[in-house]
Structure 1
C-alpha cells in the first residue's frame, strides 16, 4: 500500500491466445482516437470545422477592432482648415541655387540669390534680368527668374523660362517639374512624366517635390507624404520640402512627426526665401505642442 493507504495501480497483463486481439476497455469505447477509422474521420472533420469557425470569428473581431480604431483616428484627425496650406501648392517652387561654376555673371547671380532669399522679389527679378541680358542661356539665371515669376504668381512668364531651359536641355528634370507644377493639365500624364524622370534620376529633389504636390492636389496624402519624405532626404536643407512633409504628416494624423518637421522647416527658413507663411507655421506648431494637446 502507498502512503495514503491506497493500493497502487496494478498493470494487468492478460495472456492472449495466438492471433487474438486485446479487448477494448469499456471506458475507452467512445474515445474517437480508438474508434473505427470512419468514426475517427468524422470526428476529425467536426473538429476542423470548429477550428475554422473560431478562426473566422477571430478574424471578424480583428477587422471590427481595426475599423473602430480607424473611425476613432478619423474623428481625432485635424480638419484641413486647421492646418496651414502647402508651400507652393500649384508649382514645384524650384529652389534657387548658386552654381559652383564661376561665370562672368556670377556676381549678379549672387546678388539675385541674396535678394531672393531675403524676400526682395523685385530686386531679385532685376538682378536675374541683368544676368540674362549678359548670358541668355545661363541656367542659374533662367531657373532663378522662373522661381521669382512663380513666386509672384506670373505663371506664363515662369513657364516661358522653363520652356527655354527645356529647349537648351530637353532632359532637364527640374525644368520639367517646374513646368508641370505650373500647369493644371492631365494629372495622369503629368504623373507619368515625373515618374519617367525619376526612373533615371531617383534622387531629383525638385521632381519628387513636384510629384508630392501633384499627389496632394488629388488628396493622395500617403503618396504625397512619401514623395515629400524622399525630396527632404535628397535636399535636407530645403525648408519648403520639410514644410510640405510636415503638412503631409499632419494630414495623416501624425502630430508628433509633423511638429518635428514644422520646427525643422522654420529653422531652415531663417536665411532663405520660402513658399509658406511663417506666421501660419508658428500657429500650427503652437497648436501641436504637447502643452496645447493636453487641453
Structure 2
C-alpha cells in the first residue's frame, strides 16, 4: 500500500472534457448563415466565426500542452520511484529496538497512579525510576497487562532481553492470543524467520490494525532487505498508531531505502516532532543530520 499511489499515464479514469461553443447571433454587417444550419462554426465565412474558431484552436492547443506536461511529470515520478539515488545519500539503518510502545491504561485500577508515574519516568528517559514503579505496580497486581508491557519495554531498552522476554511470556500465559506480547517476543527472539513471519501474519489476520505486530513484521522484512514489504508494514503501523515516533521513523527509513527522499524527509520530520516528549528508539542528533542531508540535496 504505497502512501502516494500514482495512476499510470492514460489510466486516470477522468471523463474527457467537452468544449461547448455558444452560437453567436449574426450582425447586420455579417453575411447570413445558410438556411440549413444556424451553427456559426459551419458558416463559410465571417470575422466573428473566425475569432471563435481561433479561440477554440488555442484552447485545444493549451489542453494538449497541459496533457503532455502531465504525462511527462507522471513518467518522471514513476522513474524516480525505482531509479537509484546518488551514493552520497546512504539511508539510516532501521533501529533494532523490539520495544512495544507503552500506553497508559484508560481503565482506572488500583495501580493506575503508579502506572502513570512509571509511564512519565519512562518518557523522560529515567529508566531506573520507571522500572521501580512498574515493579511496584506488579507487586500490587501481578497480572496487570500495562505493568507487564511497561516492564518489558524498560528491560528491552536496557538491553536485558531475557528479562523482557520473561514479561512477554507471562503475558502469553495470561492471554495466549496477546498480539503485543507475541510481537514483542518475536522482536527479542526471532528464531526461524519464516515461522516468525507466519506468527505475526496470524495475529494480523485476527487484528489487521495491530500496530505492534505490523512494526515487528516491518523489522523482520528490513533485516532481510525486503524494503518494499518493510515500507508497507511500517506505513500500516504508522497509520494504526499515528502518534508513535518510532513507527514514523521506521517508515521514513523504509522510504529512504526505496529512494523516495521527499517522503522520507516528511516522515523524519514527523518522527522528530512526535519525539518531543516521548522516549524513542532512535538517536535524535543522527536523525537531524540525515534530515539536513536530504534537505540540502532537495534544493
1:141 to 143, 147, 155: 147
In structure 2, the residue matched to 1:268 is 274
Distance 1:179 1:134 in 2: 24
1:226-237 matched pairs, under 5 angstroms = 226-237=232-243
In structure 2, the residue matched to 1:251 is 257
Assess if the C-alpha contact under 8 Å between 1:78 and 1:253 holds in 2: no
Runs of 5+ consecutive residues of structure 2 not aligned to the other structure: 1-75
Cα-to-partner distance string for 1:218-271 (whole Å, 9 max, x where unaligned):
000000000000000000000000000000000000000000000000000001
1:115-134 matched pairs, under 5 angstroms = 115-134=121-140
In structure 1, the residue matched to 2:35 is none
Runs of 5+ consecutive residues of structure 1 not aligned to the other structure: 1-65
* 1:86 equivalent in alignment to 2:94: yes
* 1:168 equivalent in alignment to 2:174: yes
Cα-to-partner distance string for 1:181-218 (whole Å, 9 max, x where unaligned):
00131000000000001001000000000000000010
Distance 1:85 1:152 in 2: 20
* 1:150 equivalent in alignment to 2:156: yes
Assess if the C-alpha contact under 8 Å between 2:252 and 2:267 holds in 1: yes
Assess if the C-alpha contact under 8 Å between 1:77 and 1:252 holds in 2: no
Assess if the C-alpha contact under 8 Å between 1:194 and 1:211 holds in 2: yes
Query: With structure 2 as the length reference, what TM-score do the two structures score?
Result: 0.71
In structure 2, the residue matched to 1:49 is none
Distance 2:88 2:213 in 1: 28
Tell me the number of residue pairs that the alignment of Structure 1 and Structure 2 aligns: 223
Distance 2:85 2:276 in 1: 35
Distance 2:222 2:87 in 1: 17
In structure 1, the residue matched to 2:83 is 73
In structure 2, the residue matched to 1:217 is 223
Assess if the C-alpha contact under 8 Å between 1:177 and 1:210 holds in 2: yes
Cα-to-partner distance string for 1:57-86 (whole Å, 9 max, x where unaligned):
xxxxxxxxx9xx69x92252666xx33332
RMSD: 2.0
* 1:202 equivalent in alignment to 2:212: no
Cα-to-partner distance string for 1:86-126 (whole Å, 9 max, x where unaligned):
23x252x1000011111111111000000001111111011
Distance 1:292 1:196 in 2: 41
> Are residues 77 and 261 of structure 1, via their aligned partners in 2, closer, same or farther at CA, if it must alter by over 3 Å?
farther
Assess if the C-alpha contact under 8 Å between 2:97 and 2:156 holds in 1: no
Assess if the C-alpha contact under 8 Å between 1:78 and 1:250 holds in 2: no
